[in-house]
Chain A
Amino acid sequence: MKVTAQPADTTLTLLLDGELDASSAVVLDTELNKPELLHYKRVLIDCQKLSYISSAGLGVFISHLQRLQDAKVKMVFFNMQEKVFNVFEILGLDSLMTIVTTEQEAQTA
Chain B
Amino acid sequence: MPLFRHAAWLIILAAGCWLVLLLGTLSQGHSVLGLPANWPQWLLLLAQGGFAAGVFLYARMQPKPLVGHGFLPLLKRLFWRGLVLTILLVSVQALVQLAAARKLPLPGNATAAAGYTVSLALFIVLLAQMLYVWRALVSFRGSARLQREWLAFELLLGMVLLLQLFAWQTPDFLHIAVITGLGLFGIYLSGHQRWVAYLSQGQKAQAIMLQLSLLGFLTVFLLYLRGAQADAVIIAPPTQQAFLVLTAFFAVFYALAGLLVTLFNLPIADVYEQRRAEILSLQQLSQIIQRGQTAPEIYQALFTSAVQTIRADAAFLDAQLQPTELVSPLPAPLLHELTLADRTALKEQLVTLLSENQTELIDNDLARSQRLPGLSQPYGSMAMLPLRSLTHDYGVLVLLKKEQAGFDPEDLSILHTFTTQTVLSLENLQLAQEARVSQSAQDELRIAALVQERLIPKHLPTDNWFEIATYAQAAKEVGGDFYDFLHLPGQQLAVLIGDVSGKGVTAAFHTAQMKGIFHALMQPNPLAKKDRDRYPDPHRFMVLANEALTHCLERSSFITASFYLIDYEAGGFSFARAGHCHTLYYHSIKEEVSYFQSEGLGLGILRNASYGRHVKNQFWDYNPGDVMVIYTDGIPEARDGDGNEYGEDRLARMLGESFYQSAEEINQHIRRDVQEFSKGLPLHDDQTLLVIKFKASQPQA
Contact = CB atoms under 8 A, between A and B. Distances in A.
Interface residues of A, number: 17
Contacts of B501: 55-56, 58-59
22 contacts: A56-B501, A58-B501, A58-B558, A59-B502, A59-B557, A62-B605, A63-B556, A65-B605, A90-B579, A90-B581, A90-B582, A91-B558, A91-B560, A92-B578, A92-B579, A92-B602, A92-B614, A93-B579, A93-B601, A93-B602, A95-B599, A96-B606
Interface in A46-86: 55-56, 58-60, 62-63, 65-66
A60 B601 contact: no
A22 B606 contact: no
Contact of A91 (B502, B503, B557, B579): B579
Given A29-B556, A62-B558, A90-B560, 10 more contacts: A22-B502, A56-B502, A62-B605, A63-B555, A63-B556, A90-B581, A93-B579, A93-B601, A95-B601, A96-B606
Nearest to B604: A62
B642 to A, nearest CB: 14
Interface in B574-622: 578-582, 599-602, 605-607, 614-615
Chain A to chain B: the 6 pairs with minimum beta-carbon distance, closest first = A92-B601, A55-B501, A59-B556, A63-B556, A91-B579, A63-B555
Question: By DSSP majority rule, is chain A's interface helix, strand, loop, or mixed?
Answer: helix
A59 B557 CA distance: 6
Interface string A1-33: 000000000000000000000100000010000
Given A59-B502, A62-B558, A96 B614 contact: yes
Contacts of A22: 502-503
A77 B640 CA distance: 29
Given A66-B607, A92-B579, A59 B614 contact: no
Contacts of B578: 92
A55 B633 CA distance: 10
A92 B556 contact: no
A65 B502 CA distance: 19
A93 B558 CA distance: 12
Interface residues of B, number: 23
B549 to A, nearest CB: 13
Contacts of B579: 90-93
Contacts of B599: 92, 95
Contacts of A56: 501-502, 556
A82 B558 CA distance: 22
Nearest to B648: A86
Contacts of B601: 91-93, 95-96
Given A58-B501, A59-B501, A66-B607, A91 B602 contact: yes
Max count, chain B CB within 10 A of own CB: residue among A56, A60, A65, A92: A92
A95 B605 contact: no
Given A63-B555, A92-B579, A92-B614, A55 B600 contact: no
Nearest to B647: A83
Contacts of A93: 579, 601-602, 605
A49 B501 CA distance: 23
Interface in A87-108: 90-93, 95-96
A62 B614 CA distance: 15
B373 to A, nearest CB: 50
Nearest to A29: B556
B555 to A, nearest CB: 4
Interface centre among B501, B582, B605 (most CB of A within 10 A): B605
Contacts of B606: 96
B580 to A, nearest CB: 8
Contacts of A63: 555-556
Contacts of A90: 560, 579-582
A63 B605 CA distance: 8
Interface string B444-484: 00000000000000000000000000000000000000000
A81 to B, nearest CB: 13
* Most interface-central of A55, A60, A62, A95 (chain B CB within 10 A): A55
A91 B499 CA distance: 11
A92 B542 CA distance: 14
A60 B605 CA distance: 11
Nearest to B601: A92
B370 to A, nearest CB: 51
A55 B504 CA distance: 13
A92 B600 contact: yes
B629 to A, nearest CB: 16
A62 B582 CA distance: 21
Contacts of B558: 55, 58-59, 62, 91
Nearest to B500: A55
A24 to B, nearest CB: 14
A22 B506 CA distance: 13
A44 B581 CA distance: 27
Contacts of B503: 22
A95 B614 contact: yes
Contacts of A55: 499, 501-502, 558
A22 B480 CA distance: 14
B612 to A, nearest CB: 13
